[in-house]
Amino acid sequence: MDRDSEKSAAAKSADRGREPQGPSRRWAWHVKMTLEWAMEPLALAEDDRVLEVPCGHGEFIERLFNRWPTVEIVGIDESLPSLTQALARNLGSGVYLIQAATGRLPLQAKSLDAAVCTTALHCVSEPAPLLGELYRVIKPGGILLLMDWCHDYPMQRSRELARRVALRPLVGLHSIRGCRALITKAGFAVTLAEQARLSWRWGMMRFLSRRHG
């Protein structure tokens, strides 16, 4: 092997060392796949103001920013460590991160064109206050994109039971019918309700809803 080939091989080896391996790599693949699926029905204007709550580590915010770099994005989460990781992504001057409880969003009424909630509703003990707050802060005609794991899939129910036994933080999964009822009760008109098995173990659901009035 010549010197250039040795350098190339060493660089590839170093890159592999930086990539997630094993379960972490599989989880990263799952996150990428589900967030891409969640984003498919979303359409934004270049001057829209968008909220993600809870925003976690900022993976979805980063995708929003990369696709619509001119929109204003607000990310809200209760977890300071999660917000710190999101802040480390250096997403630009149009992204604002706020630490706050999801039950009372520090935003003016009817101030958002869109809001996003991804793979988080199952961790919320009382979904109604969060959905009510989202209805309050979204403008009439604005949209809500919600995605979560779906209780209708047997594998998801098995995972939910395993997490409960292990005392891991998970409040409960919703069926697509139950989740649609929660969204409708909050005042939204559901325009899209879909579920899909994105892999043999991941059963997901997504909703696109609009605020009227």
Spell out a b/e string for 9-35, using b for 16 or more CB atoms within 10 Å of the CB, else e.
eeeeeeeeeeeeeeeeeeeeebbeebb
pLDDT, greater one: 154 or 56:
56
Would residue 12 count as lying in a domain?
A: no
The reply to whether 34 falls in a domain is: no
Cross-sheet strand order for the sheet of 112-118: 95-99, 72-77, 49-52, 112-118, 138-149, 203-211, 188-197
User: 2 lies in a domain?
Assistant: no
Give the range among 49-63, 97-111, 151-165 with minimum mean pLDDT: 151-165
Average pLDDT rounded to a whole number, residues 29-52: 88
Contact assessment for residue 179 and residue 202, using Cβ atoms and an 8 Å cutoff:
no
Element (H, E) at 183: helix 176-185
Overall number of domains in the chain:
1
Query: What pLDDT, on the 0 to 100 scale, is given for residue 12?
Result: 40
Residue 111 pLDDT exceeds 80: yes
Question: Is the pLDDT higher at 127 or at 2?
Answer: 127
Tell me: the pLDDT tens digits for 163-208?
444 444 445 677 899 899 999 999 999 999 998 876 656 678 999 9
Q: Choose between 172 and 149: higher pLDDT.
A: 149
What kind and span of H or E run contains 38?
Answer: helix 22-39
In-domain check, residue 178: yes
- Whether 65 has a pLDDT exceeding 50, the answer reads yes
C-alpha 146, offset from chain centre: 8
User: pTM to 2 decimals?
Assistant: 0.78
The answer to whether 74 and 49 are in contact (CB under 8 A) is yes
Q: Which pLDDT belongs to residue 171?
A: 54
70 is in which domain, residue-wise? Answer: 48-211
In a domain, 28, yes or no: no
Is the distance from CB of 156 to CB of 149 less than 8 angstroms? yes
The strand pairing partners of 151, in sequence order, are none
* DSSP state at residue 122: G
In this predicted structure, the answer to whether residue 143 has a pLDDT above a threshold of 70 is: yes
Domain contains 103: yes
- Residue 199 sits in a domain of what CATH number? 3.40.50.150
**Residue range 78-105, pLDDT digits in tens:** 999 999 999 999 888 899 999 999 889 9
Position 184 in a domain: yes
**For position 11, what pLDDT does the model report?**
40
CA separation for the pair 159, 122 (Å, rounded): 12
In a domain? residue 144: yes
